[in-house]
Structure 1
Amino acid sequence: MDPDSLDLLDPVGGEGALIGYGRVSTKGQLLDRQIAALKTAGCQRIFCDKKSGKNAEREQLKKALDYLRPSDTLVVPSLDRLGRSIQDLISIAGGLRQEGIGFRSLHESLDTTTPGGRLVFHVFAALAEFIRELIVQGTHEGLAAARARGERLGRPPAMTGEQIVHARSMLANPEASVSSIAKLLGVSRTTLYKYVPELRTGRASLTAVGNPREIYD
């Protein structure tokens, strides 16, 4: 058998302590059911967060990961309690494996301390990578199609050609300040200087500039 295949099915962890981790999204939700499930599974210590999975600052998860030692196993009630996304989940589980720590999810019956569990998790990882590549490919194809249609890509300009025309016409009035014109057009002074660069050399040069639509459209 291929050595890589042996590594794929090689279980990790499972001989040390079972450490549980639970999470609810808001402080109003209860952790009782998750804690009960983790205790029933035999967890010797349980860490819990009351934060959204999108919140990167999950203090108790960090403490749980720091507490784990080689041959221990991290146990969660379900996969969505641990990762913010499948990529995040795979990253955490991969880091555990590198440390010789197992991973179990009770709801999905996923257990990397067994050969079957390791295989299932690799399938998850391969599927996540496949989906990511599809998204990247679709994005590139969409951009190429837009360019072929002559569409402008990226962020829209901060000032339109019509606004630039108005700005130059108003700047011809010596009583109009740059700040007041910028405020009237709904842009900053910096933006106005960027789209009407002649301002930096004085208003007199404005009369020598051609049609701004030809420059900025």
Structure 2
Amino acid sequence: MPTTIIGYARTSTLDQTYGLDAQLHELEAAGCEKVFKEQLSSVDKERPELTRALDYAREGDVFVITKLDRLARSMTDLVRIKDTLEAKGVTLKILNLNIDTSTPTGKLMLSLLGSIAEFERDIMLERQREGIARAKADGKYKGRAPTAQRKADDVKRLKAGGKTAEQIVVELGISRSSVFRALRAE
């Protein structure tokens, strides 16, 4: 059975075209015959092109990415994807780290790097929570006002102008319950 080299490229937003183009160029240079690409955040629940790429992969294939963070954001996610590939007999190559899971060293390095990446993210989130707590204690952090609450004056103005609750929902892009909450607060 011939081996297929499969590439996967992802950027977080649609305006990151340079980043996507750079990944596609690297995947092409790595010999990828089939490339799956998408432009959405990895924290989104659904990554349809990644799902298609994983479904497409067959025993003996090589799954190539340019960087680890293009594939997974958490160790749990990485382990799930790695296990899916392993179960199919597919190896993973990460170009910028020169990791190839067809070797024992590559498997070890992937596990270590995934753990370190998750640790760094946890530390960053912890610092963020500490910073917010400190700002709240100093009276400098109020948080953002809920979107619907910021539109309460618009809700009242539109209602006074004869609009129905359904028309206000459509015009302001808020929920029906938010409309009634704003009107009750009057």
TM-score normalised by length of structure 1: 0.50
CA positional deviation for 1:116: 1.7
Query: Any conservation in 1 of the 2:63–2:90 contact (CA below 8 Å)?
Result: yes
- 1:34 and 1:20 map into 2 onto residues whose CA distance is 9
**Alignment correspondent of 2:169:** none
SS at match of 1:104: strand
| Correspondent of 1:28 among 12, 15, 26 | 15
**Alignment correspondent of 2:95:** 106
Q: Specify which structure has the bigger relative contact order, considering alpha-carbon pairs within 8 angstroms and separated by 6 or more residues.
A: 1
**Alignment correspondent of 1:65:** 54
- 2:45 and 2:62 map into 1 onto residues whose CA distance is 22
C-alpha offsets along residues 145-194 of structure 1, whole Å, 9 cap, x if unaligned?
A: xxxxxxxxxxxxxxxxxxxxxxxxxxxxxxxxxxxxxx9xx9xxxxxxxx
CA positional deviation for 1:47: 0.3
Confirm whether residue 52 of structure 1 aligns to residue 23 of structure 2: no
**1:1-217 equivalences in 2 (<5 Å):** 16-30=3-17, 31-124=20-113, 127=115
How many residues in Structure 1 have an aligned counterpart in Structure 2? 119
**Alignment correspondent of 1:161:** none
- 2:66 and 2:111 map into 1 onto residues whose CA distance is 20
- 1:33 and 1:123 map into 2 onto residues whose CA distance is 26
User: What RMSD over aligned residues (CA atoms) do the two structures have, in Å?
Assistant: 2.5
TM-score normalised by length of structure 2: 0.58
Query: Any conservation in 1 of the 2:57–2:88 contact (CA below 8 Å)?
Result: no
- 2:5 and 2:70 map into 1 onto residues whose CA distance is 17
- Deviating beyond 2 angstroms after TM superposition, the runs of 4 or more aligned structure 1 residues are 121-125
Q: Percent identity?
A: 38
- 1:23 and 1:123 map into 2 onto residues whose CA distance is 23
Matched AA of 2:15: G
**Alignment correspondent of 2:135:** none
Larger radius of gyration: 1
CA positional deviation for 1:124: 4.3
